[in-house]
Amino acid sequence: MRARALTAIFGLVVLATVGVASASGAASEGPHTVSVNILGADHFPHPGLLTNDFHFPEDAIVVARGGRITFHNKTNDAHTIALVAKADLPTTPAQLFNCPLCDTINGVFGIGGGPGPGGPPAGAQLDNGKVTDDHAQADADAPDTGAIASAKHLPPGLSLLIADFDTPSHGSTVGDATLIDTADPTNGHGGPTQRTISMTAVPGLYHFYCTIHPWMQGTIRVVGERGGD
């Protein structure tokens, strides 16, 4: 199974973010800080049946433009959060296990299953499809102190900045994405178990998913304007 194979490979790398929304926003202005948990686990109810219910929040995560969302990984596996166009989301079982965009994003990160080299991640985030590429003034360059504090081990040279989310994927273009590790000592390797993103995209509804477990899909609704941004 593709997801299980990727899990085994991904367990070798340091990763970073995911969750359940803890705040809701008004129609004209949303909260500036939101905490989100990623939940779920593998279940083996009886021989011959393995189920998995890793998931993001079912409801949209509501945040003010320029506000920050902190994802906390509460599962026993690592995940990615990739901002994509709605049309890029897998919607059938066949697409879940044959997902070229998943392989592309994983490959840019250096995760096995894509065109990248595999092994430790090339970076902690993708900005407009590139590893830690600061392409606009709106980019959030501040250190992600929460992620750094939650990490037990980081590969040399791997910087952890607050990820700026404003460019979803369109066609062959990879947009913004980030990584999060698990605290499970049997599956994790000391990477950050929380990750903060700054949602600087214009107001609207945005789609994201985990490229390692593509059935994990969620939405972010950006509303209002943060004063001065």
Residue by residue, pLDDT tens for the chain (229 residues) are 334 333 332 332 333 333 333 333 334 578 999 999 999 998 998 999 988 999 999 999 999 999 999 999 999 999 999 999 999 999 999 999 899 999 889 888 878 654 444 556 677 888 888 886 665 555 667 889 999 999 988 877 777 889 899 999 877 788 999 999 998 888 887 889 999 999 999 999 999 999 999 999 999 999 986 443 3
Asked whether the beta carbons of 72 and 36 are under 8 A apart, the reply is yes
pLDDT of 159: 78
Residue type, 28: S
CA 6 to chain CA mean position, Å: 15
Buried b (16+ CB within 10 A) or exposed e, 93-115: eeeeeebebbbbbbbbbbbbbbe
* pLDDT value of residue 138: 56
Q: What pLDDT score does 23 carry? A: 38
Question: In the numeric block, which tokens belong to residue 215?
Answer: 């059935």
- pTM of whole model > 0.85? no
Q: What is the CA angle 19-102-17, rounded to 5?
A: 25
Residue 156 pLDDT: 74
Cα-based distances in Å from 47 to 43, 100, 107, 137, 225 = 11, 31, 34, 54, 52
Contact 70, 35 (CB under 8 A): yes
Q: In this predicted structure, what is the pLDDT of residue 227? A: 44
Instruction: State residue 69's pLDDT score.
Output: 97
Neighbour-count burial of 44, counting CB atoms closer than 10 A to its CB (0-12 exposed, 13-18 middle, 19+ buried): exposed
* Antiparallel, parallel or unpaired: β 42-46 and 163-165: unpaired
* Confidence (pLDDT) at 139: 65
Give the per-residue pLDDT at 21. Answer: 36
CB neighbourhood size of 148 (10 A): 14
Residue type, 196: T
CATH 2.60.40.420 fits 2-41+51-223, yes or no: yes
CB atoms within 10 A of CB 205: 11
| CA distances from residue 130 to 39, 216, 229 in whole angstroms, order as listed | 28, 23, 24
